[in-house]
Amino acid sequence: MAETVDQKLLAKLSELSKRKDDLDAQMADPDIATDHNRVIALAKESGKLRYLIDPYRILRTTIESLEEARSLVNDAEGDPDLKELAQEELPALEAQYTEQLEALKDKVVSADDASISSLIIEVRAGTGGDEAGLFARDLYEMYLRYAQLRKFKIEVLDQSLGDMGGLKEIVLNIRGDGAWQAFGYEGGGHRVQRVPETEAQGRIHTSAATVAVFPEPEEVTIDINWDTDVEEHVTRSSGPGGQKVNKTSSAILLVHPETGITVSMQDEKSQHKNRAKARRIMTTRILDHHQKKQNAELDSARKTMIGSGDRSQRIRTYNFPQNRCTDHRIGLTLYSLDRIMLGQLNELVAALQTHDKEQRLQNL
- Whole-number Cα distances in Å, 301 to 119, 121, 184, 211: 13, 12, 12, 12
Cα separation, 182 vs 177, whole angstroms: 10
Instruction: Give the model's pLDDT for residue 245.
Output: 44
Instruction: Give the model's pLDDT for residue 243.
Output: 46
Question: Could you tell me if 152 and 182 are in contact, meaning their C-beta atoms sit under 8 angstroms apart?
Answer: yes
Query: In what order do the strands lie in the sheet containing 261-265?
Result: 231-235, 251-256, 261-265
pTM for the model? 0.66
User: How far does CA 108 lie from the centroid of its chain?
Assistant: 13
Instruction: Give the model's pLDDT for residue 307.
Output: 59
Q: Phi first, then psi: what are they for 199, rounded to 5°? A: -95, 115
Instruction: Give the model's pLDDT for residue 237.
Output: 63
Contacts (Cβ under 8 Å, ≥6 apart) of 320: 192, 193, 194, 195, 337
Instruction: Give the model's pLDDT for residue 246.
Output: 47
Under DSSP, is residue 345 helix (H, G, I), strand (E, B) or coil? Answer: coil
**DSSP 3-state helix, strand, coil percentages of the chain (rounded to 5)?**
55, 20, 25
Residue ranges of the chain whose pLDDT lies below 70 = 1-3, 111-112, 198, 217-221, 237-249, 267, 297-313, 364
Question: Could you tell me if 182 and 149 are in contact, meaning their C-beta atoms sit under 8 angstroms apart?
Answer: no
Q: How crowded is residue 187: how many other Cβ atoms within 10 Å of its Cβ?
A: 21
